Amino acid sequence: TSTSTSTSTSTSSSSLTASTSSSNLSGGSGGGSSTSTSTSTNENVPLAAAVLNLSAACARDEEMRHRLIRAGVLSAAEQLLANKNQLAPTLKNAADVALHNLRIALDANLARRLAQMDAARQRALIEAAAKDIVVSPRFSAETLAKSRQHRARVVNEILGTEKNYVEILHSMITVYMEPLSSVPEKVCSRDERKTMFPIVEILLQVHSVFLQQLETRVMEQRQNADVLLGDVFVNLAEVLKVYRTFINNYDAASNTLAQCLKRREFVRFVEAAQERAKTKNLSSLLITPIQRIPRYCLLLADLIKHMPPDHADRVNCATALAQIEEIADYLDMEKDKSVSKHRLRHMEQCIQNAAGMDLSEYSWRRFYREGPLILETEKKSSEYVYLYLLTDLLLLTTQKGRRKFRLRNTYSTETMAVFNLPNESDEELDRNAFQILTDKGSIVLYTTKPDEKTEWMDDLRAATIANKKRLGAASS
């Protein structure tokens, strides 16, 4: 079956390329075009559309997807859509569907490969981290000496910034958190203190131990050509997930501080504490832990970049970098989850007739975007609507007041497809039109700006892909 399909695909690709060579695929009569050219065009449009739809179906198989790419089908479809304003609607829609399905296939194949990586995950992470760092293939004696000097500067920066970070965590506790426990509740309540300084004591303990290990290693190996810190960072990586609580709570901490700073007594306390201890302002201190993990990634990458391939610490540093980058990605994902959950709960309060819809019920559900659009009605008139896009749902509502909405319809993203619509007139609004095919029929929407249309279409496709991945993982 694969052989016959491959032959068909290659033949189809040639047909598609031949079809796209005509300048009259729009179906209109170009200047100077002959009757025979027009006839050929009318025959080529359905042929090219059929080829694109066949290609999209074949792309569900990973091997066939690679053959399609080698045959030039994907690039031909992309070239077609680059001139979409000149395309006949039949061909443009076919190209849209083909690219949509090809991209879903790409993401689905990637998801399958990632799911099969568990056994070799650690090794793959190490290799990926090392591969992404550019290293000169030749190291002369002069280059080696300069690289060694650079690594020494990076080690000093690691040690110096870690000392500074531990001092900042210590100041957060001794200058602000602990003294605030003695002020009246009306100045800063116990709950507000807990919200502003989540797990700071735990972070101080973790980084005090790490700093001690760094100082010991530097002292032990100061006379050596290099100070090897890779294994120390590997040990640190094992405990960095504690940052999840701090990062998820950061917005609440920042908002609580803003509320407290509206109180005159609290402002006087903070200003006096800052002047007495000569520290940064409290807002700057609170954001420092958010910035620390990405800083480790930059410092480790800088070390690896200036190591020869056979350096004794290269594997450990690459391992640590891969683990810390993975934790940084995990923490970003947890942050997104927390933000999405907050937005979903806010939606439940805004949509008046959404009683019984627990939008934040599922941990996998993400908020993508919201905003006003113009809906084309059955009578070809239009009306303003307000849409909410989630991983698995598109909610169409009507605004009934300030941040108050009435739910009119919900659409599943599982079978959703999104298409750009061609310009049918010179009206500015028509240039911002797109169509959504849903399980309940088709809807046509307009945005007021071209960039906004692109963002909505991209997010709708991203939500559809994410939902298909989720459903695929649940069924396997």
- Regarding pTM above 0.85, the answer is no
Query: Mean pLDDT of all residues in the chain?
Result: 76
The confidence score (pLDDT) of residue 417 equals: 92
Indicate whether 266 pLDDT > 80.
Answer: yes
Residue 351 has a CB neighbour count (10 Å cut-off) of: 20
Indicate whether 339 pLDDT > 90.
Answer: no
> For 34-43, what is the mean pLDDT?
39
Confidence band of 21 (pLDDT split at 50, 70, 90): very low
The confidence score (pLDDT) of residue 95 equals: 64
The confidence score (pLDDT) of residue 35 equals: 36
Residue bearing the bigger pLDDT, 99 or 449: 449
Q: What percent of the chain has pLDDT over 70?
A: 67
Indicate whether 37 pLDDT > 50.
Answer: no
Which of the given ranges, 116-130, 150-164, 299-313, 378-392, has the highest pLDDT on average? 150-164
Give the pLDDT confidence of 190-240 residue by residue, as tens digits.
999 999 998 999 999 999 999 999 999 999 988 777 899 999 999 999 899
Give the pLDDT confidence of 153-177 residue by residue, as tens digits.
999 999 999 999 999 999 999 999 9
Exposed/middle/buried for residue 379 (C-beta within 10 Å: 0-12, 13-18, 19+) = exposed
Closest by CA to 200, choosing from 321, 282, 263, 296, is 282
The confidence score (pLDDT) of residue 428 equals: 57
Which range is least confidently modeled, 133-142, 244-253, 256-265, 331-340?
133-142
CA distance 464 to 413: 5
The confidence score (pLDDT) of residue 330 equals: 79
> For 364-371, what is the mean pLDDT?
88
Indicate whether 46 pLDDT > 80.
Answer: no
The confidence score (pLDDT) of residue 123 equals: 54
Give the pLDDT confidence of 279-333 residue by residue, as tens digits.
888 888 888 898 899 999 999 999 998 888 888 898 899 999 998 988 888 777 7
The confidence score (pLDDT) of residue 439 equals: 85
